Chain A
C-alpha cells in the first residue's frame, strides 16, 4: 500500500506540475496574496488620507496644525474656497475638508472652532478620518493647553519661591519688632527706676550752721590736742630721765631716740595745730562762698531734676505709644507671616504640579499586550489562517474534482486498488502541496515577523499542518459528496465564508447568542486561528494548546472516516438506491 501511495502521490504531483495554470492559481496565488498583504500592512503609518484645507487666513496656529498633520504623512491640499474644498471631497480628490477660522489663535476669552466636512457615504472611512484628524487637532489643542497651564504653574511656583524668600524677611521683621518691644520695656523700666526726689532738707543755712559748728568743734579739738601734747611732753621728759638710768647703753640710746622722735612728732602736731589756729577767716569765707555756690547749684540741680522728671514722664508716655505701635506692627507682621504660610501651604497643597496632569487629570493608555511592530501584527494569524483555510479547501476540492472529472476516473474506478488508497493518496498530495505553500508563507512571514515566528516555529508549523489537514479533509469531503463542479466550488466558498463569518474576524463571537457561541467554538477556522494567534502573538507553547490541537486532529480523523463512508456509499450508488427505495420511480421493466 505504501508503494501504491507513493506512486499515486507521484502521479498526482506530475499532473499538477504539468498544469501550469493550476500551479499558478493554486500555489503562487496564496503566496502572492501573503506577500502583497505583508507589503501593504507592514507599516505603522496611518493611511494615505488626503486632507483638504481652507482658511481665508492661515494663522500661525493653523500652520502649526497642518504641519502636525504633514508629520503624520497626511497629504495636505489647500483650496481657495470652502466651497471648492467641499466639492473636492465629492469628486474624491480629498477625503475630508477642514476649515480653519481666519483668526485661529490661543487668546484670552477666545473660542476657536474648526469645521470638518466629511462624506458620510464613505462609512468605512469617515469615522476613521474624523478620528485621526480630530485627534491630531485635539493633540495640538492639548499641547497649547499644556503650555498655558505650564506657564500658570511656573508663575505659581515662582510666587511660592518668592513667598518662601520673603518669609525670612518677615521673620526678621518680627524678631526686630519683638526686640524693639523688649528695648522699649527696658527703657520704661529704667525710667521707672530713676528718682528725682531729694531726701531731707538741702539748704545753705543748714550748711552755714554746720560750718559754724565745725569751726567751734575744730577749736575745741585744737585746744584739747595742745593740752594733751603738753602732757605728753612732760611724760616724755620723765621717760628720758628714767631711760638715762638704763644699764645698757644701746637700749638706753634706742629708747631715748624713740622718745625724742615722739617728742618731735608732738612738736610737729603742735606746730600744725598752731597753723590751724592761724587759719584766717578767708578760708572759711571761701568755704562759705563755696557753700553758697553749692546751695545755688543745689537749687539749680533740683530744678533740673524736676525738669528731668517731667522729661522722663514724657519719654515713658512716648515709649508707651511707640510700644503700642510696635505691638500693632508685630500683629500685622504675624498676620502677613500667617498669610504667607497660608499661601505657601495652599500652593503646596496643589497635589498635581505637572501641567500634563492638570490638562488631562485622567489619562488612559491603551497598552497592547504584545509589542506592535506593524498593522499586520494583529491580523497576521487571521490572514494566514484564512489563506490556509481557503487554499486548503479549494485546493482539495479542486484536485478531487479534477480527478473525478478526469478521463481516467473510470479506469481508476474500475481498478482493484482500494478506495482508501486513493483517498489517502489524494490527501497526501494536497497536504504536500499545502505544506510547501505553508513553508513559503512562513518564510515570507518570517521576513516580516522573524522574531515572533522563529522561536515558536515548531509549534506554528504543527498548528498550520494540523489546520491544513482539517481544511483539506473538509474540501475533500465536499468534493466527494457533490458531483457538479460548480456546486462544489460554490459550496466550498460558502463553507469557507461561513467559517470566516462565524469567527471573530469580522464580528466578535461574543455578540452572538450563547448557544450559538458554544457551537461556533468548534468552528475549525476559529479553532485554528485562535491557536495560531496564541502562539504567534503570545508565544504560547505546545503545552498551552495541546487540547485544542487534539480537537483539531479528532475532527480531522472524523472527517476522514466520513469521506471513506461517503466514497463507499457513492461508488455503490447506495444513496441513489436508497432514494429510489424510499421514492420508487414508475417502473416499466
Chain B
C-alpha cells in the first residue's frame, strides 16, 4: 500500500498532469468526451473501465501517441504546465508508457532491447549499461539478460516491457493493463516494481480493469465508462459513495441456506440488498451486519446446524464498480 499520509499533503501546485476536457473521435465514433482530471506529482493514479470504455485511447492521448480532437493534456516541466502534443520532445522524456502489449523486439535479447530503447532516449552507453542491470535486477530478469525476448514467458515479457518503458527514468509512468494475463508470481513482481517506482517519487498512472490491483496500488482512481469520466476518488471515497453494504460470507454443515434466506427476508432492520449461494457458501449484502448476523445465528441454532466458517467484509472495488455500472445501465 502506498503512503497515503504523504499524498494527502500534496497541493494543487503539485499537479504533474492535467487532463482538460479531453475528446477523441475515430470516424463517427466518439471514443472520449469531456474528460478532465488532474494527476498529482508522485501520485499513483488508476483509471478503471470495462473493455471498450476508452481507457487505452485515453492512455495513448496522455502519452502523446494520439492527438485529441478536443481539449488538451498538460504535463509539468520545470514548474510549468505544457501541452504534451505541442512539446512532444520534452513530453517524451518526461513520460514513460508501458502499453498493454509489451513493446520490444522479440528477436532481440533482453539486453539488446533495453540498450536499443536506452539509446533512443539518448542515454549514454555507460549509463545505459548500469541502468539496464539495475532495472533487470528489480524485476528479477538479470539471469535472462542474454535471452531472446521471444523465448521468454508472458510474465517475463511483461516485466521486460515495463522496464523498457522506464529506461529513461521518466517522471510520469503510464501503464496500460500492467497485470493483465499474468501468473501470480509475475503479477506480484510487476506490482512490486510499480510500487517501487512510485515510492521513488515517480507519478504512476495505471489503466486496468483489475480493480483489486488498482485498489492495492492506487491513491486515486478514475472510473471511465463509454468514454466519459464517471468519478474520480480514493478507493474508500468510491466505496463510501457507491456501496455502504457489508458482505457476510458463511458456510454451514448442512449447507441448507433456505431457512436463513427466509429469516433475513423477514428481518427489515438488516436491510439486505442481496443474497446468493455460490457453491457451498452463502453471501449476504447488508447495511446492518450486526442485525443480519444475529438473524443468521438464530436460524442455524434453531435448525441444529453447525457453522463451519463465517466472515464479514467491506465491499471490494469490484462491487463498487459493478454497482456503478448497474446505475449507469439503469440511466
A interface list, Cβ under 8 A from B: 4, 7, 11, 14-15, 18-19, 406-417, 572-573, 577, 580, 585-589
A573 touches B66 (CB 8 A): yes
CB <8 Å contact, B21 and A589: yes
Specify the chain B residue showing the minimal Cβ separation from A580. B69
B325 CB-CB contact with A under 8 Å: no
Collect the chain A residues with CB atoms within 8 Å of residue B97's CB: 410-411, 414
Find chain B residues with CB under 8 A from A585 CB.
Answer: 25, 27-28
Residue of A nearest to B24 (CB): A589
Q: When the two chains form their complex, are residues A416 and B92 in contact, meaning their CB atoms are under 8 A apart?
A: yes
Contact of A415 among B23, B112, B117 (CB under 8 A): B117
The residues of B that contact A411 with a CB separation of less than 8 Å are 97, 103-104, 117, 120, 164-165
Ordered by A's residue number, 20 sampled pairs between the chains whose C-beta atoms are within 8 Å are: A11-B112, A14-B107, A18-B107, A406-B105, A407-B103, A410-B103, A411-B164, A414-B63, A414-B64, A414-B65, A414-B92, A414-B95, A415-B120, A416-B122, A417-B120, A580-B25, A585-B27, A586-B28, A588-B30, A589-B33
Q: Return the 4 tightest CB-CB contacts between A and B, nearest first.
A: A415-B120, A18-B107, A589-B23, A411-B103
Q: Is B106 an interface residue, CB under 8 A from the partner?
A: yes
Q: How far is the CA of A14 from the CA of B148 in the complex (A)?
A: 11
Complex Cα–Cα for A585 and B26 (A): 9
7 additional A-B pairs beyond A410-B99, A411-B164, A585-B27, beta carbons within 8 Å, are A11-B116, A408-B116, A408-B117, A411-B97, A411-B120, A414-B92, A414-B97
Whole-angstrom distance between the alpha carbons of A254 and B63 in the complex? 194
Interface string of B8-44 (1 = CB under 8 A from A): 0000000000000101010110100110000000000
Contact of A572 with B23 in the complex, beta carbons under 8 Å:
no
CB distance from A555 to the nearest CB of B (A): 31
**Other-chain contact of A407, B102, B116, B148 (Cβ < 8 Å):** B102
B103→A7 contact, CB < 8 A: no
- Is residue B312 within 8 Å, beta carbon to beta carbon, of the partner chain? no
Distance to closest chain A CB from B91 (angstroms): 9
CB-nearest residue of chain A to B34: A589
Q: Which residues of B contact A18 (CB under 8 A)?
A: 107-108, 148
Of B21, B34, B119, B165, most A-chain CB atoms within 10 Å: B119
Q: Does B93 lie at the interface of the complex (its beta carbon under 8 Å from any beta carbon of A)?
A: yes
Q: Identify which of A18, A410, A572 gathers the most chain B CB atoms within 10 Å of its CB.
A: A410
The CA-CA distance from A14 to B149 in the complex, in Å, is 13
Asked if residues B121 and A407 are in contact (CB atoms below 8 Å), the reply is: no
B240 at the interface (CB under 8 A from A): no
Contact B33 A588 (CB under 8 A): yes
A408 touching B148 by the CB < 8 A rule? no
Nearest-CB residue, chain A, relative to B112: A14
Q: Is B230 an interface residue (CB 8 A)?
A: no
For B70, give its contact among A14, A572, A589 (CB under 8 Å). Answer: A589
Q: Which residues of the partner chain B approach A406 to less than 8 Å between Cβ atoms?
A: 105
Q: How far is the CB of A576 from chain B (nearest CB, A)?
A: 8
Judge whether B89 is part of the interface by a CB distance below 8 angstroms: yes
The distance from the CB of A205 to the nearest CB of chain B, in whole angstroms, is: 168
Q: Could you tell me if A408 and B104 are in contact, using CB atoms closer than 8 angstroms?
A: yes
B269 interfacial by beta-carbon distance below 8 Å: no
Is B103 a contact of A408 with CB atoms below 8 Å?
A: yes
Alpha-carbon distance between A408 and B65 when the two chains are bound, in angstroms: 13
User: Closest residue to B71 on the A side, CB-wise?
Assistant: A589
With a cutoff of 8 Å between Cβ atoms, the chain B residues found around residue A413 in the complex are: 65
A415, B92: Cβ atoms closer than 8 Å: yes
C-alpha gap A407/B103 in the complex (Å) = 4
- Distance of A589 from chain B, by nearest CB (Å): 4
Kindly report which residue of chain A lies nearest to residue B227, judged by CB atoms.
Answer: A588
Give A417 to B92 CA distance when docked, in angstroms: 10
Alpha-carbon separation in the docked complex, A4 to B121 (Å): 11
Q: Which of A11, A19, A573 contacts B67 (CB 8 A)?
A: A573
Residues of chain B with a CB closer than 8 A to A577's CB: 67, 69
Q: Report the nearest A residue to B157, measured CB to CB.
A: A407
- Report the separation of the CA atoms of residues A587 and B23 in the bound assembly, to the nearest whole angstrom: 9
Report if B305 contacts A (CB, 8 A). no
Complex formed: what's the CA distance from A15 to B165 in Å? Answer: 20
Contacts A14-B112, A577-B69 hold; do A587 and B30 have CB atoms under 8 A apart?
Answer: yes
> Quick one: CB contact mask for B140-157 with A, threshold 8 Å, 1 for yes?
000000001000000000
Instruction: Looking at the assembled complex, report how far the CB atom of A468 sits from the nearest CB atom of chain B, in whole angstroms.
Output: 24
B residues less than 8 Å from A589 (CB atoms): 21, 23, 30, 33-34, 70-71
Per-residue 0/1 for B163-175: is the Cβ within 8 Å of any A Cβ (1 yes, 0 no)? 0110000000000
